Amino acid sequence: NMSDGLDKIFFGDIQLNDLMLEDLEELLITSDIGVETSMDLIGRVAKGWEQDRAKIRSLLRTEILALISKQDPQPQPPPDGPRVVMVVGVNGVGKTTTIGKLAAQARANGESTLLAAADTFRAAASEQLTVWAERTGAEIVKHKDGADPAAVAFDAVAAATARGIDTVIVDTAGRLHTKVNLMEELKKIKRSIGKNLPDAPHEILLVLDATTGQNAISQAKLFNEALDITGLVLTKLDGTAKGGIVIAICNDLQIPLQYIGIGEQI
C-alpha cells in the first residue's frame, strides 16, 4: 500500500514540492504511523532530499529503520531465583494468548515455567490459562473465582521460589468486579510480587491490540505512568491492522517493542 502510494506521489528525478510532502504526510498517517511520527519522518525526508532526490524510498526506509532499531531492548542478567514477568493490558487485547506463546517459548528453551492466574475477574479466564498450561507443559497457580489477584500472584511467586522454577508469568485482568481502579489493583499485584522477591517483577509487558490503531498509544501512556512498563507486545498484526502502528509506537514511547502477535496459535 505504502509502496504504491509512493510511486504515485514521486516518480522520476523531480524537484521536491510542498504538495508532494502533503501527499506523503497523508500516506503515512493513513498507514497508522500517527501524526507526530509522520511529521517527524517528513522533516527528515525533506532534509535528506537535497543530497539525493531520486531515492525517496531508500531515504524513508533508512529513517523508519532508525526509529525502530533505537528501541532494541537491553539484555538483562538472569535473576537469582525465578524470573517474573507480569502481563498487563485492557480486556481482549490478547494477554492470555501471549502468555501461552511466551510459556511455549520458555519451555522450548528448557525453562521450567509457572503461570499465575491473577485474572480472577471471570471463571473462563483461569480455565483459558489452564488450557495453555496443559498445552505448554507449564505449571499453574490459581485460586477460586473472584479471589484477590494480588494473593494469587504472591502465592505463585512463593511456589515458584520453593520449587526452583525458572520463569513465572502472571496473567492479569483488564477490568474488575469492583469499582476499584484497575491501575491501583495492578500496582497492588506488582507490589505483592515483590514482597518475597525484591527485584520482581523483572519485566512488565503491556499487551496492545494493533487493530485499535492510535488508541494503543494512549493506553500505553496510561499503563506506563502507573506501572513502569518494560516492554510492549503488539498483537493481531495478522489481521486488518496496518503495520505503521509499530513505527508510531517506537517513536512515541521510549519503551522497546519486544514481541508481535501474529495469530491465535502458539
Residue among 41 and 189 whose Cβ is closer to ligand GDP: 189
Looking at the Cβ atoms of 45 and 208, the one nearer to ligand GDP is: 208
Strands 83-88 and 231-235, by their bridges, are unpaired
CB of 80 to ligand GDP, least distance (A): 30
Helix %, strand %, coil % of the chain (to 5): 50, 15, 35
Instruction: Candidates 31, 37, 71, 97: give the one binding ligand GDP (CB under 6 A).
Output: 97
* Dihedral (CA of 245, 223, 171, 193) sign: positive
The rounded distance, in Å, linking the Cα atoms of 219 and 197 is 28
**CA–CA separation, 248 and 67 (whole Å):** 9
Q: Which is nearer to Mg ion, 95 or 190 (CB)?
A: 95
Which of 79, 174, 194, 213 binds ligand GDP (CB under 6 A)? It is 174
Q: Which of 83, 107, 190, 236 binds ligand GDP (CB under 6 A)?
A: 236
Alpha-carbon distance 266 to 165, whole Å?
Answer: 21
Smallest distance from the beta carbon of 93 to ligand GDP, in angstroms?
4
> Would you say the C-alpha torsion 194, 199, 205, 206 has a positive or negative sign?
positive
Name the binder of 1 from ligand GDP, Mg ion, none, CB < 5-8 A by kind. Answer: none
Euclidean distance between CA atoms 37 and 119, whole angstroms = 35
Which residue type, as a one-letter code, is found at position 34? G
What is the contact mask toward Mg ion in residues 89 to 118, using x (rule: CB under 5 A)?
A: ------xx----------------------
Min. distance of Cβ 27 from ligand GDP in angstroms? 26
Q: Is 264 in the site for ligand GDP (CB under 6 A)?
A: yes
User: Minimal distance in Å, beta carbon 79 to ligand GDP?
Assistant: 25
| Number of residues assigned to the chain | 266
Q: Assess 215 for contact with ligand GDP (CB under 6 A).
A: no
Q: Which is nearer to Mg ion, 95 or 101 (CB)?
A: 95
Choose the binding region for ligand GDP from 36-44, 94-102, 106-114, 181-189 (rule: CB under 6 A). Answer: 94-102
Alpha helices in the chain (DSSP H): 2-9, 18-30, 35-49, 56-69, 95-108, 123-136, 149-163, 182-194, 215-227, 244-252
Q: What does the alpha-carbon distance between residue 204 and residue 201 come to, in Å, rounded to a whole number?
A: 7
Query: Which residues here bind Mg ion, judged by CB under 5 A?
Result: 95-96
Query: Which residues here bind ligand GDP, judged by CB under 6 A?
Result: 89, 91-97, 174, 207, 235-236, 238-239, 261-264
